[in-house]
Amino acid sequence: MRKESGFSLKLGVFVTLGLVLFIATIYFVGKQKNIFGNTFHLNAKFKTVNGLKVGNNVRFSGINIGNVNEVELLTDTSVMVDLVIRKKYQEFIKSDARASIGSDGLMGDKVLTISPGTSDKTPVKNGDVILTKNAIEMEDVMLSAKTSVDNAGVITAQLAEFTTKMNTGNGALSKLISDEEFSNSLQNTLVNLQTASHEFALFTAKINSGGLSESLDTTMRNIQGATKGLNENMEAAKSNILLKGFFNKKKKADAKKAAELKKEEDKRKKQELKNAEDSIKNIKALVPVKKVTGGL
Amino acid sequence: MVISLKNGFTEAGNATLFVARFFRELVKPPYELKEFIRQCYIMGYKSLPLVAITGFIMGLVLTIQSRPTLAEFGAESWLPGMVALSLIREIAPVITALICAGKISSGIGAELGSMKVTEQIDAMEVSGINPYKYLVVTRVLATTLMVPLLVVFADGIGILGGFAGINIHGDVTMYRYFSQVLSSLEFLDIIPATIKTFFFGFFIGLIGCYKGFTAASGTESVGKAANSAVVTASLAIFIIDMMAVQLTDLFF
């Protein structure tokens, strides 16, 4: 009997431990999937869900807060996604929060991400339909990438054509590249140009250092001094004895000329006076005749 | 050729009758509860050390072997999840069932075979005890219920072995390891794997009993019964496993 109770105890412990282990695993896995504990539902309407499946994670600020519970096609262009989210996160999801579908890594599962709304809005309620953002589809990206690739194709084709022309044609560029003579002459030109510019640089340096400008300045001052001297010479010549006669004669000639002008003027005045006297005489001669005839 | 075919069909018919009789005797009272518990103790508790060591080694080895491949992708963080998944879904049930086939099925085959050879079974029948009920039903029921429990232990200990294996190269805390394991598990991984272990247990017990119960007279047939019990049970485990996995794949 003692032996029997010994083995039942061991068996009991064995069975109990096994069952506890099994139930604990079930419980924790279930907890992971939000089957137990407080949850609430949210709905989101998408045009396309990009392969989102039941059981995919729901993320909010990077934290897994729930799972996708159901994906249902409503109409031909809209899909309703039902989310189960832990109750304790409800207060953080505001009514203007937006759901979007992304990918967890390059090869990972799809993830439904809820981006937070503005903090002054009210929290969502159980069963609410939240706003959504349409996900960037891989096909769209591919399509735009294809356009770029096509353009790149055109560009490279033209570039190839241009290169061929340059290598085989006769234009300036092709000459530049393929004609040795031309390139030599161009090189010579460049060397000459280099020399010229070097000289010019030296010249400029000289000017800047003041040699030329100083001499120019001196020249100007000399010229100024010369004109001043000339002026003085003229004054001196006026008062010189030898030249006094010349200047006096010049003065006399001027005076004579003025006197002659005066004489002529007088003569003209006398003539006018005489003319006037003559005309008065004529008038006087006419007037007595009239008197006679009037008396008759 | 014809004779061996005929023998094969006769064997299949006998086995079917044996199974049918098991279910008939199972529901019919009286129940041999005390014998059932004793068998549970022998088959479950006594097999635990063997299963625990196997499970631990499987977890450890699986982790060490998977690491280089995953490290190549830089996905070493998936190691706990991967080890736990392969342990729970496939390795722990099959390895535990094979161990039990070797230990329990051969034990039952040898025990019942020797009882049959020494005519103890006939003696029981004469003394008014239903030998089928007392010997077969209790043993088959015990294996059916104990093998799943042993598999649960193997799962748990194997995952611990995986933890040891990961800490050979890396440094992962127990909490982080188990949270990684749990996050990779789903009910779909646990439930079908658990259901199939009941079938494993049932067939381990049944094949052992059948081989022992149908042993021919003579001492060497005891060894034959034990041997063929192990071989048939092991083969049956793989066949059941294949069917179970295909069914799971079909429905989920």
Domain spans in chain B, listed from the N-terminal domain onward: 46-251
Which candidate, A101, A100, A43, places its Cα nearest to that of A74? A43
ipTM for the whole complex: 0.77
pLDDT for the residue A294: 45
Domain tally, chain A: 5
Is the pLDDT at B66 greater than 50? The verdict is yes
Asked if residue A82 and residue A53 are part of one domain, the reply reads yes
Is the pLDDT at B193 greater than 80? The verdict is yes
Least Cα separation, residue A106 to chain B (angstroms) = 12
Q: Which residues of A touch B187 (CB under 8 A)?
A: 26, 29-30, 33
Tens digit of pLDDT for each residue in A237-265?
A: 777 777 777 777 888 888 888 888 888 88
**Looking at chain B, which residue has its C-alpha nearest residue A11?**
B41
Q: What is the rounded CA–CA span in Å between residue A40 and residue A92?
A: 13
- Judge: B190–A26 Cβ closer than 8 Å, yes or no: yes
Is the pLDDT at B44 greater than 60? The verdict is yes
Q: Average pLDDT of B80-102?
A: 92
In order, the DSSP letters of B79-95 are HHHHHHHHIIIIIHHHH
Give the percent of chain A with pLDDT over 70.
Answer: 88
Please count the residue pairs, one from chain A and one from chain B, whose beta carbons lie less than 8 angstroms apart.
54
Is the pLDDT at B10 greater than 60? The verdict is yes
- A22 within some domain: no
Is the pLDDT at A95 greater than 90? The verdict is no
- A168 within some domain: yes
Q: Is B51 on the interface with A (CB under 8 A)?
A: no
Give the percent of chain B with pLDDT over 70.
Answer: 100
Is the pLDDT at A43 greater than 80? The verdict is yes
pLDDT for the residue A1: 46
pTM: 0.61
**H helix runs in chain A, sequence order:** 2-32, 138-168, 172-178, 180-209, 211-239, 241-295
Tens digit of pLDDT for each residue in A145-199?
A: 999 999 999 999 999 988 888 777 767 777 777 777 877 888 889 999 999 999 8
Asked if residue A248 and residue A229 are part of one domain, the reply reads no
Q: What is the rounded CA–CA span in Å between residue B245 and residue B131?
A: 36
Mean pLDDT of chain B: 89
Least Cα separation, residue B177 to chain A (angstroms) = 14
Asked if residue A110 and residue A37 are part of one domain, the reply reads yes
Q: Average pLDDT of B188-196?
A: 90
Mean pLDDT of chain A: 81
Is the pLDDT at A99 greater than 80? The verdict is yes
pLDDT for the residue A35: 61
Q: B93 versus A179: which is more confidently predicted? A: B93
Q: A285 versus A289: which is more confidently predicted? A: A285
Q: What is the rounded CA–CA span in Å between residue A280 and residue A117?
A: 127
pLDDT for the residue A264: 87
Look up the domain containing A217 and give its range. 210-239
- Judge: B41–A17 Cβ closer than 8 Å, yes or no: no
pLDDT for the residue B146: 92
pLDDT band for position A5 (cuts 50, 70, 90): low
Is the pLDDT at A267 greater than 50? The verdict is yes
Asked if residue A123 and residue A45 are part of one domain, the reply reads yes
- Chosen for mutation from B33, B34, B41 (greatest number of chain A CBs closer than 10 Å) is B41
- A4 within some domain: no
Q: Which residues of B touch A17 (CB under 8 A)?
A: 153
CB-nearest partner of A7 from B41, B155, B156:
B41
Is the pLDDT at A295 greater than 50? The verdict is no
Asked if residue A249 and residue A226 are part of one domain, the reply reads no
- A108 within some domain: yes
pLDDT for the residue A296: 45
Q: Residue-wise over A114-152: b if at least 16 C-beta within 10 A, else e? A: beebeeeeeebeeeeebebeebeeeeeeeeeeeeeeeee
- Chosen for mutation from A1, A4, A13, A14 (greatest number of chain B CBs closer than 10 Å) is A14
Is the pLDDT at A3 greater than 60? The verdict is no
Look at residues A135, A163, A193 and tell me which one is the last residue of a structural domain.
Answer: A135
pLDDT band for position A133 (cuts 50, 70, 90): confident
- A166 within some domain: yes
